[in-house]
Structure 1
Amino acid sequence: MIWDYFIYFAIAAIVLWCVGAWASWQKRFTLACTTTLAGILIFLVYIVIMWVALQRPPMRTMGETRLWYSLFLPMTGMVVYGRWRYRWILPLTTIMAIVFVGINLLRPEIHSKALMPALQSPWFAPHVIAYMIAYALMGAATLIAIYELAFRKKTASGTSGQSKDDLVCAGLALLTLGMLMGALWAKEAWGHYWAWDPKETWAAVTWLSYLAYLHLARYDKQHQRLACWMLIVSFCLLQMCWWGINYLPSAQATSVHTYSMQ
């Protein structure tokens, strides 16, 4: 089974990501980007192989979505490092990616080719990918916020503040795009754009939370530390929207958006 080979691709990618993280900390830009990119490509190759083997997008189960998140985290970290030269961002995104890869290694899943009719839609893959990229961008922005709170006595609207705002703007745009594609998909599959399903409700709460953060960060320069805390809270809401709803009693056997574990 294709999942049995995941450990080999995962270890190779993690080793390269760790080398890239070390190189970025040592300010060796070329080595950091080269090794991180090599790890990303190895991980992407596995996802493509899995896609071909399953004959469907590997996005049906929670573990499969963690694969995409693990892919986009170091990718986002490399973009931020390349743009703003934060030598600590690649180590942090690497650690976060390793955590999600580790969860998949410790909790292997049974990946079948079955795909329920509602998921057999052209909206399925772009909807999930838009969300996973947005989640990675929001994760990187949250790491910057934590760095500012931990290592800066006074958060000012400087380079790091601008960088996390840019990430959140891009992430919010993708969240919006994902919601729009999801609404069109819902209309096609179930006959309505929005039904206040638990997943949809938490998606709306998350979207509004990030929108509120951007307004506070952009227009209230006196409360930038509060904005950092708001960004962290927004990321917690995002986790609830992504996988937390699977454990809500209101979502059990009623929500069409809960991820399958098998």
Structure 2
Amino acid sequence: MQIWNFFLIFALAALLFWSLGAFFAWKGKKALAVGATVAGLAVFLSYVIVLWIALDRPPMRTMGETRLWYSLFLPLMGLIVYSRWNYKWLLSFSTVLAAVFITINLLKPEIHSKTMMPALQSPWFAPHVIIYMMAYALLGAAFVMAAYLLFFHHHQAPSDKEWTITDNLVYVGWAFLTLGMLSGALWAKMAWGNYWAWDPKETWAAATWLAYLVYIHYRLRKQGNMRFALWVLIVNFALLQMCWWGINYLPSAKGTSVHTYYMN
């Protein structure tokens, strides 16, 4: 029997543990949340290792195999951020995303044999995408906080606690965005021989990175119009969407952009 036939068992067990971890996180039981999430990671990693041994190669050649890494890394990244900054919602977010990728693997078994282009089989590809997902989640949460403080706060000045939450979301999200850009550069170097090609997606990523850096420096000054800082976050989130979709406002670079493939 093919090893993929056992995937459902491992996937359901891992999702059960991750869901328990998310539940315990919301209840404020950090030790149980971490323990359950680690147990789920151990179960899912066991399947990846068994698949690796059965295939006699790293499982990174097909779309289905790559989504296994998405499903593994997402709860891991969520666990790291939750353990450090105690954002209770992150374990729920990472669990839902992991469940989406697992469901796709279960409902579309044909992707298990659909070989991807060689560039997407790079060991840097999956971490690059996962890190970006975590950056988008955190910076998206910062946008929600900014919108709330601007439009639903009844014209009251944000409290120190609310500023701390907003700033920390930006700091951590910006750090993940930086790591995502660096891992993407390493991926491009391995696949095409250059770290940066100035394609639309890379250009928007650079603009977004700089825009959030402006917010960080503005807030560290602790001076000026703080509502302006919140509006900067609103604008930055629009740039973040451009970064995600890679809106082509520039002439196409020579050759086909790698991002055309991984967004499809």
Give the shorter-chain TM-score range.
0.7 to 0.9
Deviates more, 1:81-90 or 1:140-149: 140-149
Flag the structure with larger Rg: 2
Task: Work out the CA distance in 1 between the residues paired with 2:90 and 2:119.
Answer: 38
Paired position in structure 1 for 2:208: 209
Q: Is the 8 A contact 2:186 2:195 kept in 1?
A: no
Kindly indicate whether residue 50 of structure 2 is the aligned counterpart of residue 45 of structure 1: no
Structure-1 residue corresponding to 2:85? 84
Contact conserved, 2:63 with 2:115, CA < 8 A, in 1?
A: no
Please report the TM-score for the alignment, with normalisation by the length of structure 2: 0.72
Question: TM-score, normalization: structure 1?
Answer: 0.73
Letter matched to residue 2 of structure 1: I
- Match of residue 102 from structure 2: 101
How many equivalent pairs are there? 244
User: Post-superposition shift, 1:22?
Assistant: 0.9
Cα offsets for 1:226-261 (capped at 9, x unmatched): 3443454455445435xx99xxxx89x955562599
Of 11-20 and 64-73, deviating more is: 64-73
The correspondence of residues 238-249 of structure 1 with structure 2, limited to 5 A, is 238-240=243-245
- Counterpart amino acid of 1:102? T
Equivalent residues in 2 for 1:7-26, closer than 5 Å: 7-26=8-27
Superposition pairs of residues 103-122 of structure 1, within 5 angstroms: 103-112=104-113
| Separation in structure 2 between the aligned mates of residue 165 and residue 141 of structure 1, nearest angstrom | 7
> Which 5+ residue runs of structure 1 have no aligned equivalent?
none
What is the RMSD computed on CA atoms of the aligned residues?
3.6
Q: Taking structure 1 as reference, are residues 33 and 180 closer, same or farther at Cα in structure 2, changes over 3 Å only?
A: same
**Higher RCO by CA contacts (8 Å cutoff, separation 6 or greater):** 1
Is the aligned partner of 1:158 residue 2:157? Answer: no
Q: Which moved more, 1:25-34 or 1:145-154?
A: 145-154
Name the % identity. 39
Note if contact 2:21-2:91 (Cα within 8 Å) is conserved in structure 1.
Answer: yes
> Contact (CA 8 Å) 2:139, 2:173: kept in 1 or not?
no
Q: What does 1:223-238 correspond to in 2, within 5 Å?
A: 223-230=228-235, 232-238=237-243
SS in 1 for 2:112: coil
Residues 60 and 81 from structure 1, CA distance in 2 versus in 1: closer, same or farther, beyond 3 angstroms? same
1:115-130, aligned counterparts within 5 Å? 124-125=122-123, 127-130=124-127
The answer for unaligned runs of 5 or more in structure 2 is 220-225
